[in-house]
Amino acid sequence: MELSKLIANCNVISIKGDEKTDVSAITSDSRQVKPGSLFVAVEGICTDGHSYIGKAIEEGASVIVYDKPLIDEFFSRVTYIQVENSAIALAMIASQWYGNPSAHLKLVGVTGTNGKTTVATLLYEMFRRQGYASGLLSTVCNYVNGEKFPTTHTTLDPVTLNRFLRMMVDAGCEYAFMEVSSHAIHQKRVYGLKFAGGIFTNLTQDHLDYHKNMQEYRDVKKSFFDDLPSDAFALTNIDDKNGLFMIQNTQAKKYTYSLKNMADFKARIFEKHFEGTDIEINGKPLTVRFVGLFNVYNLLAVYGASILLGLNEEDVLRTLTVVKPVAGRFQTIRSPKGFTAIIDYAHTPDALINVLNAIHDVLEKKGNIITVVGCGGNRDKTKRPIMAREAYRLSNKVIFTSDNPRFEEPQDILNDMLAGLSEDERRDVLTIADRREAIKTACALAKPGDVVLIAGKGHEDYQEIRGVKHHFDDKEEVEKLFFGN
Ligand SMILES: CC(=O)N[C@H]1[C@@H](OP(=O)(O)OP(=O)(O)OC[C@H]2O[C@@H](n3ccc(=O)[nH]c3=O)[C@H](O)[C@@H]2O)O[C@H](CO)[C@@H](O)[C@@H]1O[C@H](C)C(=O)N[C@@H](C)C(=O)N[C@H](CCC(=O)O)C(=O)O
Ligand SMILES: Nc1ncnc2c1ncn2[C@@H]1O[C@H](COP(=O)(O)OP(=O)(O)OP(=O)(O)O)[C@@H](O)[C@H]1O
Ligand SMILES: N[C@H](CCC[C@H](N)C(=O)O)C(=O)O
Ligand SMILES: [Mg+2]
């Protein structure tokens, strides 16, 4: 593609070299540069792409896009484009390169601390079941109409993201649903995408390793809604204290959902059981196969977005009665000994509280809750003592274990968790760093009628230790213990 066309939507400060040059590929990673590539130098968290400009040229890059003064020498065979912001330029160039695919889809972004995967995946299933070709970009998996692709992030980098959206357009998809993480908004990964709608689920503590404080985290999320166009919808959970704040300055059409207040989309709960929940949405009764108050919020968001996108109400309600939880989200496995294991991706204090309360609601004190939980390494450390405290408070027995230690010592993470308990309380808990052993111990302690909650890793099929992902799957571990093999 001709360079001048590629940079048409960028805020260009200066151009040195031939603007008509033909570009053969685009990347922000010098290690992926091929002859004729355009390389965008982006300042990152670990390193600065500007330091790899020399390397990119050595590998054959013919265009360099940058936003900081260059000290390197200029080569006459290379075109240098100085832009206002490289991360934004990367997103705009990626969209152009793939023919602005988001403009040819009805793209809906879901943001919030918890519930993004659940809401985005259920929307994808909803639209597929109504016969619409659709795509999904989520933490668990990406789908282009029925075809499955593994993923690396909750929200992909702009080049990969736009490549997927292009694949969706080429496959005839009309709708696309994606998770929008706060990291992605902050790093401009979704910049310039044309959204047909945005959904806010909730905001509670997470990622305080990355964002300076809760206010910055909240403001980053809000900026996603600030940038929505006027023909899009902004659908928000007004039972969350930041729900209205999120849509305060958006140009998009505002809609609300709630279980407690007057709202455009409203639900009530009648009866909770282990197999599901009897609810009412906008006055219509239905039984869903989901457990937990938080899942009623997720389903309500799905209902609201489906209606706003033009689906028929009866079809939507009928589909809500048949869809099932996403892998690793409140996934229940019955043991032959009469207790239940629940695998759940709760990896924030709020998610853990919600999932434990949901178990209490259906257990009605007729059994004990044994919780196995750990916290991820090289992530928000301040959530560790809180998660430990809540797990202790809401369980009959807790076993602290490892999640993904990444580059930290497992015992250091466990110590941060234990700091959330008093000395007396610490004597009540078991600390077993080996996750396999921890799960085994919990299942050995369980009596008929009990629940073993295994929290934090959900669908993940690995444990990340010192940069290596070792195969590990909570569900597989439980099935081995229950059914052998
Ligand atoms: C902290 C974080 O978000 N990091 C993301 C960020 O990387 P970074 O800023 O560290 O990049 P860097 O390594 O400093 O490099 C800067 C630039 O130099 C380039 N470079 C680097 C080395 C080299 O040899 N040559 C070269 O050109 C890099 O390609 C990059 O363009 O930009 C990269 C490209 O988009 C991401 O892959 C990377 O995700 C890392 C792997 C990650 O783990 N991110 C997690 C925290 C994340 O994003 N999570 C959210 C979900 C969170 C939630 O649950 O809500 C997600 O959306 O997945
Ligand atoms: N609406 C909700 N409110 C609070 N907690 C929720 C909600 N939905 C799900 N959870 C809890 O959070 C966990 C993760 O759910 P889900 O994967 O849908 O969230 P997510 O926002 O995609 O997470 P991530 O940030 O890792 O992408 C679930 O296993 C459950 O424990
Ligand atoms: N998307 C989340 C995943 C956390 C999952 C948990 N198992 C962990 O490793 O901390 C994050 O990047 O914080
Ligand atoms: Mg997710």
Whichever domain contains 382, its CATH number is: 3.90.190.20
> Which of 343, 347, 404, 460 should be mutated for ligand 3, with most atoms under 8 A from CB?
347
Indicate the range of 205-209, 293-297, 330-334, 459-463 predicted with least confidence: 205-209
What is the pTM for the complete model shown?
0.94
- From the alpha carbon of 114, which atom of ligand 2 is closest? 21
Say if 325 falls within a structural domain: no
> Is residue 342 in some structural domain?
yes
439 and 308, same structural domain?
A: no
> Average pLDDT for residues 217-236, to the nearest whole number?
97
Ligand that comes closest to the CA of residue 158? 1
Distance CA 119, CA 320 (A): 12
CATH of the domain at 59: 3.40.1390.10
Banded pLDDT at 365 (limits 50, 70, 90): confident
Site to substitute for ligand 2 among 114, 324, 390, most atoms within 8 A of C-beta: 114
Which domain range does residue 71 map to?
3-96
Residues 180 and 83 in one domain: no
Looking at all shown ligands, the one closest to residue 381's CA atom is 3
Boundary residue ending a domain (79, 96, 113): 96
- 387 part of a folded domain: yes
Residue 246 C-alpha to ligand 1 middle, in angstroms?
26
For residues 396-406, average pLDDT: 98
Distance of CA 254 from the midpoint of ligand 2 (Å): 23
Task: Give the number of other CB atoms < 10 A from CB of residue 167.
Answer: 18
Whether 289 and 356 share a structural domain:
no
Q: How confident is the model at residue 185, as a pLDDT?
A: 97
Segment 415-426, tens digit of pLDDT: 999 999 999 999
Is the domain of 302 the same as that of 192? yes
User: Are residue 165 and residue 229 in the same domain, yes or no?
Assistant: yes
Please indicate whether residue 135, judged by its CB atom, sits closer than 6 Å to ligand 3.
no
Closest to 98 in 3D by CA, of 157, 161, 175: 161
> Do 112 and 211 sit in the same domain of this protein?
yes
Does one domain contain both 250 and 103? Answer: yes
What is the C-alpha to C-alpha distance for residues 435 and 454, in angstroms, rounded to an integer? Answer: 10
For residue 198, the domain's CATH number is: 3.40.1190.10
Mean pLDDT for 148-157 is 96
Q: What is the mean pLDDT of residues 193-200?
A: 98
Establish whether residue 350 lines the binding site of ligand 2, counting it when its CB lies within 6 angstroms of any ligand atom. yes
Is residue 72 predicted with pLDDT exceeding 80? no
Give the pLDDT score at 179. 98
What integer best gives the mean pLDDT of the chain? 96
Does residue 66 lie within any of the structural domains? yes
The pLDDT value given to residue 207: 84
Average pLDDT over residues 393-421: 98
443 has a pLDDT exceeding 90: yes
Residue 250 lies in a domain: yes
Q: What is the pLDDT of residues 249-289, one digit of tens each?
A: 999 999 999 999 999 999 999 999 888 999 999 999 999 99
pLDDT band at 403 (very low <50, low <70, confident <90, very high): very high
The band of 11, judged by pLDDT with boundaries at 50, 70 and 90, is very high
Mean pLDDT of 113-129: 97
Q: Whose CA is nearest to atom 17 of ligand 1?
A: 49
Q: What residues have CB less than 8 Å from 157, skipping those under 6 apart?
A: 28, 189
Q: How many domains does the chain have?
A: 3
Judge whether 463 and 469 are in contact, CB under 8 Å: yes
Does residue 411 sit within a domain? yes
Average confidence (pLDDT) over 277-305? 96
Domain termination site, one of 96, 120, 151: 96
Tell whether 87 and 103 lie within a shared domain: no
54 and 120 co-located in one domain: no
pLDDT at res. 212: 80
Ligand 4 (ion): residues with CB under 5 Å are 116-117, 139, 154, 179
Residue nearest to atom 11 of ligand 2 (CA): 351
| Residue range 415-438: mean pLDDT, rounded | 97
Share of the chain above pLDDT 70, in %: 100
Residue 326 belongs to some domain of the structure? no
Ligand nearest to the CA of 343: 2
Distance (Å) from CA 314 to ligand 3 centroid:
37
Q: Which residues pair with 15 in a beta bridge?
A: 81
| Average confidence (pLDDT) over 453-479 | 97
Shared-domain flag, residues 310 and 183: yes
- Residues 412 and 397: their CA atoms lie apart, in Å, by 22
Residue 364: its pLDDT value, please?
A: 82
- SS in 3 state form for the chain? CEHHHHCCCCCEEEEECCCCCECCEEECCHHHCCCCEEEECCECCCCEHHHHHHHHHHCCCCEEEECCCCCCCCCCCCEEEEECCHHHHHHHHHHHHCCCHHHHCEEEEEECCCCHHHHHHHHHHHHHHCCCCEEEECCCCEEECCEEECCCCCCCCHHHHHHHHHHHHHCCCCEEEEECCHHHHHCCCCCCCCCCEEEECCCCCCCCCCCCCHHHHHHHHHHHHHCCCCCCEEEEECCCCCHHHHCCCCCCEEEEEECCCCCCEEEEEEEEECCEEEEEECCEEEEECCCCHHHHHHHHHHHHHHHHCCCCHHHHHHHHHHCCCCCCCCEEEECCCCCEEEEECCCCHHHHHHHHHHHHHHHCCCCCEEEEECCCCCCCCCHHHHHHHHHHHHCCEEEECCCCCECCCHHHHHHHHHCCCCHHHHHHCEECCCHHHHHHHHHHHCCCCCEEEEECCCCCCEEEECCEEEECCHHHHHHHHHHCC
Distance between terminal CA atoms of the chain? Answer: 54
pLDDT (0 to 100) of residue 169: 98
pLDDT in tens, 12-35: 999 999 999 999 999 999 999 999
Q: Has residue 259 been placed in a domain?
A: yes
Are 109 and 212 found together in one domain?
A: yes
| Predicted complex ipTM | 0.95
How far, in Å, from the CA of 274 to the mean position of ligand 2? 19
What value does the mean pLDDT take over residues 139-144?
A: 96
Using most ligand atoms within 8 A of CB, pick from 210, 259, 345, 356 the residue to mutate for ligand 2.
345
Is the shortest distance between the CB of 460 and ligand 2 below 6 Å?
Answer: no
Ligand closest in space to the Cα of 406: 3
* Residue 136: strand pairing partners: 143, 177
The token pair at 345 is 């991706």
* Residues 38 and 126 both lie in one domain: no
